[in-house]
Structure 1
Amino acid sequence: MTSNNEILFERAQRSTPGGVNSPVRAFRSVGGTPRFITRAEGPYFWDADNRRYTDYIGSWGPAIVGHAHPEVVRAVQEAAARGLSFGAPTEGEIEMAETLCRLVPSLEQVRLVSSGTEAAMSALRLARGATGRDLVIKFEGCYHGHADSLLVKAGSGLLTFGNPTSSGVPEDFARHTMVLDYNDSQALEDAFARVGERIACVIVEPVAGNMNLLPATPEFLQTMRRLCSAHGAILIFDEVMSGFRVALGGAQSLYGITPDITVLGKVIGGGLPVAAFGGRKDIMRHLAPEGGVYQAGTLSGNPVAVAAGMTTLKLVQTPGFYEDLGARTTRLANGLSQAAKETGVAFSAASVGGMFGLYFAEKVPQNYAQMMACDKARFNAFFHAMLDEGVYLAPSAFEAGFVSAQHTDEVIDATIAAARQAFEATK
């Protein structure tokens, strides 16, 4: 019998490219039919066939307090009743900016926007405007949204400029971006020695989540901070994923490193479209209307989205929230590793705060090349076996997973038991 998911997917492909509004949702990496979700609550969601799954993507991170949290839903309903959008300032925008600046010490001022891509793109423009330089350094495997300057992969040799990774990105854009290996401190040293006076900024995910979970080493980030300071370049931490996910102060609070600009998103919207970029006042003053770097957005600081985000930020400040979240995520990673070991499968797992990574490799990867060497075919088989067990993981071997406050020990133990069955079925 044809499932409702298959019917919806066939229908979607007639009116939407690939049948989806974001590529990873199409299941192209893992094969099969995407699940069309009808509702969600706590750690679960249900598809169009009314099949329940334990959800480990959490809207790719924002659902940190669980789906449809009653306080978040109530805040959204109350805000919507007052009006959906005004195109004029609200007190809620001020409160969110004040909260972000209080919780993330590197932030002195913040500008709210509607997506992580918009925030990263704006941060890049701001860095270039503030320094008067053009060259950007990014790292292989880090994703900062789909702005032209950032859809760039490494060139053909050490310290070469990047090549576009998407059709429609002019080569002239890519030549202003240098792509280095993640966690390679020496490559950074060499780049700054060669072209340090031309570098506007270095942008990095301090905990990478778009080549699976891959934390930066302390030495790598310390080298980055030292070189940026010495050469007058701006250090941008892209914490769209890791911000309020790995710790209350983000990854920068775990590493003890202060970036010049921070990019935030996902959790700060509580499931609705809110993102932000911010940093030192002397940098932020370059933004219009005070300075010459233009940035604007009709729905920036949308009152309904801000209400969801502010309520989520209130909930994550509950004493012990991150300790509990981290312990549960560690429980999941360790339990999966043990289940794989018991079934003789080459597998490893890691976690940072409420993020985790699954790798079909003997050891946790340390860089992009090691990540790409993981057994993708084995992951794909495991992914579908877990779906059959009622567990929804990211439909790609190269995406991090997320745990919420509603993933109790019982939920996680059930997931580990399901994984044991999936490892057995796919070894």
Structure 2
Amino acid sequence: MSQSDVLVTQEPAPQTVQVSDLPQKIYEIERNTGPYSSSGLATAGFRSAKYLEDEWYQNNYNRYYESLADCDHSERNRHESKQLAAETETLCERTQQDTNKKTGERLQDIHFWKSELQRKIEDLSNETDLLLAQKLRLERALDATEVPFSIASDNLQSRERRQPPDMVKDAVATELLKEAELIRNIQELLKRTLMQTVNQIRLNRDHKEICEMNWSDKVETYNIDEMCAHYNNRSTNIQFHPHSSKFEDSATTPETWGKFSHDTIYRADQEKIASTNLRALIDNILSDTAEDLRLQCDTVNVAFSKCSEEMENAKRKLQDHLNKILREITDQENNIKSLKQAIKDMEAPLKVAQTRLYQRSHRPNVDLCRDAAQFRLTSEVEELNNSIQALKQKLLESEQALRNLEDTRMNLEKEISIKSNSLCIDKQKCMAPRSRYPTVLKLAGYQ
């Protein structure tokens, strides 16, 4: 193999370049390691791992240029480092001042919402206490209605013991039914209002608890931010927290934070307004129901008085008629005695006439004649029989009249007894307990 056939990689001669134009990294020169790099077989072992002279010079130049480039880069780095340090110090001071300002503004916002929440907590607490007082009035009023309802029910049951024909649906019964129905309706209304009051008290306490929790969070946040506001570069209790700059997934935005506090206060205001309106409604309900009950009670009492007066008048008239019946019974009894005596007095003439006829029927032969005496005796017997029959008929009528008088007397006495029983029920069993009817103040829940 000739020398011209050997392939040798050669670099061009170095040229003069500026330091700033030098690359940061220089590739190494390719070595003569090819299979045909030796000029001959005899020197193959000595030439296989050697550099050429030009390569040696080129390598030195590369090291020079690399050194110059590193020095220039280091110089620029030092200059930039000083400038960056000054800029970062200024930026750090400006950023820290802005952070302190933002933290102060944040403390003012937190203090504002904290004060608002504290005021709402006090308002809800006071409102709940007032509503509890109204709840106590409702409970007292509901308990007070038990007495009127018991009185009305007892009056209705007592009047059920009246005897016919006094067992009528009169004005008293109608008003008592109205009273009982009114009391039941009032009790249902008071129960519903009481349930609404209990529910409103629960809502007040729930929203007060929500405000207290939010207020507690604001207090804790205010203390944390206040402590952070006092931190400075000379503080002794500061340290590195590498991962503290990451936002938490549950973190809120200032808008949502402010909206949550605003919504909390708004709901508290709404509950306070609802509670205030409910208290006013309770006042109106208790006042109206107490007046309605007392008005109905007075109406029932007036109906009882009127009914008792009518009952006494009816009883007095019945007693007058009973006295007349008793006198008539006495007269009729005397009349019956007279009729019986008249019938008995007619027996002797009848016997005389019949005896005469009987004796004359024994006249012999032609003497058995229908003479004037015979006709008169016959007519006399007929007249006497007709008279006796008329007297007996009148006696029967008189006895029937007497029986009718006795029945009427019994009916009148029974009716008078019924009226007495009705008067006793209305006056003693009904009107006497109604004197224990609660007052308006007690029905309104003040006692």
The answer to whether the superposition gives a TM-score over 0.5 is no
The structure whose RCO (Cα within 8 Å, separation 6+) is larger is: 2
Please give the TM-score of this superposition, normalised by the length of structure 1.
0.15
Rg (Cα) greater in structure = 2
Please give the TM-score of this superposition, normalised by the length of structure 2.
0.14
Question: Greater strand percent: which structure?
Answer: 1
Question: Greater helix percent: which structure?
Answer: 2
